[in-house]
């Protein structure tokens, strides 16, 4: 496949006495991969890489990560610059379109988000069917999948409607998230308003009420914009790879994103932000003795892990964590909120980072370690933290799904395996089994 990333460089692989040449792909930042697409046909061998820690699934223009240097950029822009200077809607546009929007482009995009903010009134009945304690991520995943039933035209000719589908999804997921919270509280729904920005609208839908109007606090809006931007994309993480995997079978955007939401739910992935708060809360309830948690995390016989620590790619500080940690102090100070969990988190980080177990394994705080402190300070309930992660990650999922659909070399994702089960054996009729 003629790609400007093939420099002509090759590697040699000697298999069963024969030397095989495989082409090398070189990325923008010099990252190299061995293209093994002809390996099985020419050698009969496949590669094995459980968890895909050494395997690239695609070539992508969207996000660059350097796990050793702690670098993260979206379409070439460093996330620190984006988090400092943009709104989430600007960054969502950047991720999905490849460039920062002009003033006019941003105004048109914002208008589309407003136009698509409502969900079909028939969808409201779904909320009545969920038991009161339904997990918000389960509701979100099924409601997003239901969008295919209400907007089938968007899935028949996807690429002609991709801008509409993206705006529809970005706007409606925000409404579904807020409505599911109001439903869980037994409070009346608050509808989106066209006079509020994306994040202000979400906060108003979450916290406004007929008896106590919500006053939009611009510092809270700024904090939420920053958090959603920092969650915008993260190359081939578990949930994004899931969106690509499901979408690769030519599944529409809504159903592909619904699968991504389910993957993000896991406590090893996006669900970690809720688990961090539960861990910090139990340390606090136990009198602040976080050392026992550090010791448990180090014990190979104990399945407990220090949630919010460690990362498959980052072997230094997660750059998002640095920004969020600093924002914690600013937001809590702005809102005059004192949260003992922040001090516990900082002390826990300090102790862990000095411990050989964590140092030897390059375990640092990740994006989930501090984010819950801010969500809590702005009033988001803990069981909605992973929903907030999904809101932020949505533009990244959309961008990757679209990039895959646009790729002329795209094929359905279907990994191979090595079978280690029983050798072929004769069938045993029921009356001879167990004899």
Q: Which residues bind ligand SDX (CB under 6 A)?
A: 51, 234, 237, 268-270, 272, 297, 305-313, 361, 363, 366-368
Report the nearest approach of ligand SDX to the CB of residue 140 (Å): 17
Contacts of 149 (CB under 8 A, 6+ apart): none
Nearer to ligand SDX, 23 or 260 (CB): 260
- Tell me whether residue 174 or residue 400 sits nearer to ligand SDX (CB atom): 400
Q: 394 with 173: CB under 8 angstroms?
A: yes
DSSP 227: H
Q: What are the two backbone dihedrals, phi and then psi, of residue 366, each rounded to the nearest 5 degrees?
A: -110, -170
Q: How far is the CB of 392 from ligand SDX (least distance, A)?
A: 9
Provide the minimum distance between the beta carbon of 248 and ligand SDX in the complex, in angstroms, as a whole number: 19
**In sequence order, what are the residues at sequence separation of 6 or more whose Cβ sits closer than 8 angstroms to the Cβ of residue 102?**
none
Q: Which is nearer to ligand SDX, 244 or 311 (CB)?
A: 311
Q: How many CB atoms lie within 10 A of CB 254?
A: 24
List the structure tokens of 19: 């030397």
Nearer to ligand SDX, 138 or 313 (CB): 313
Q: Are 62 and 38 in contact (CB under 8 A)?
A: no
Out of 234, 339, 368, 400, which one is annotated catalytic?
Answer: 368
Q: Specify the 3-state DSSP secondary structure of 263.
A: helix
State the nearest-atom distance from the C-beta of 298 to ligand SDX, in Å: 7
**Terminal Cα distance for the chain, rounded:** 57
For CA atoms 216, 220, 221, 222, give the dihedral sign.
Answer: positive
Beta strand 71-74 with 63-66: parallel, antiparallel or unpaired?
antiparallel
- Nearest residue (CB) to ligand SDX, 127 versus 317: 317
Cβ 269 to ligand SDX shortest distance, Å: 4
Catalytic residue among 311, 318, 339, 400: 311
d(CA 236, CA 215): 38
Q: Using CA atoms, how far apart are residues 403 and 406, in angstroms rounded to an integer?
A: 5
Q: What's the full length of the chain, in residues?
A: 435
Task: Output the smallest distance, CB 367 to ligand SDX, in A.
Answer: 5
Residue with CB nearest ligand SDX?
310
Between the alpha carbon of residue 398 and those of residues 114, 169, 239, 401, the distances in Å are: 18, 9, 12, 5
Name the 3-class secondary structure at 70: coil
Q: Which is nearer to ligand SDX, 164 or 305 (CB)?
A: 305
User: Could you confirm whether 311 is annotated as catalytic?
Assistant: yes
What are the catalytic residues? 311, 368
């Amino acid at each position: 496949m003629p790609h400007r990333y093939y420099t002509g460089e090759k590697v040699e692989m000697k298999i069963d006495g024969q030397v095989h040449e495989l082409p090398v792909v070189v990325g923008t930042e010099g990252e190299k991969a061995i293209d093994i697409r002809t390996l099985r046909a020419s050698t009969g061998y496949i590669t094995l890489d459980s968890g895909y820690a050494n395997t690239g699934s695609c070539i992508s223009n969207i996000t660059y990560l350097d796990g050793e240097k702690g670098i993260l950029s979206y379409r070439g822009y460093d996330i620190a610059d984006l988090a400092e200077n943009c709104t989430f809607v600007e960054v969502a546009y950047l991720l999905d379109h490849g460039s920062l929007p002009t003033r006019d482009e941003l105004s048109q995009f914002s208008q589309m988000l407003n136009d698509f903010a409502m969900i079909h009134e028939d969808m409201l009945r779904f909320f009545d069917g969920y038991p009161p304690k339904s997990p918000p991520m389960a509701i979100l995943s099924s409601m997003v999948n239901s969008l295919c039933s209400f907007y089938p035209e968007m899935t028949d000719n996807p690429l002609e409607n991709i801008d509409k589908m993206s705006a529809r999804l970005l706007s409606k997921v925000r409404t579904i998230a807020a409505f599911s919270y109001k439903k869980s509280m037994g409070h009346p729904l608050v509808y989106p308003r066209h006079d509020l920005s994306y994040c202000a609208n979400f906060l108003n839908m979450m916290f406004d009420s007929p008896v106590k109007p919500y006053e939009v606090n611009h510092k809270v809006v700024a904090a939420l914009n920053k958090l959603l931007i920092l969650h915008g994309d993260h190359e081939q993480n578990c949930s994004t790879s899931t969106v690509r995997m499901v979408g690769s079978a030519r599944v529409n955007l809504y159903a592909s994103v619904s699968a991504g939401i389910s993957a993000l739910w896991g406590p090893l992935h996006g669900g970690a932000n809720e688990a961090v708060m539960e861990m910090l809360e139990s340390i606090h309830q136990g009198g602040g003795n976080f050392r026992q948690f550090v010791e448990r995390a180090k014990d190979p016989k104990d399945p407990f892990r220090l949630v919010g620590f460690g990362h498959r790619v980052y072997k230094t500080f997660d750059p998002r964590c640095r920004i969020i940690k600093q924002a914690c102090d600013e937001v809590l100070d702005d809102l005059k909120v004192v949260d003992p969990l922040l001090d516990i988190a900082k002390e826990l980080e300090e102790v862990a980072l000095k411990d050989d177990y964590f140092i030897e394994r390059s375990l640092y705080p990740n994006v989930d370690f501090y984010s819950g402190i801010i969500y809590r300070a702005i009033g988001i309930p803990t069981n909605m933290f992973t929903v907030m992660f999904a809101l932020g990650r949505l533009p990244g999922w959309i961008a990757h799904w679209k990039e895959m659909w646009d790729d002329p070399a795209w094929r359905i994702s279907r990994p191979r395996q090595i079978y280690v089960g029983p050798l072929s054996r004769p069938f045993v009729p029921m009356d001879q089994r167990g004899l």
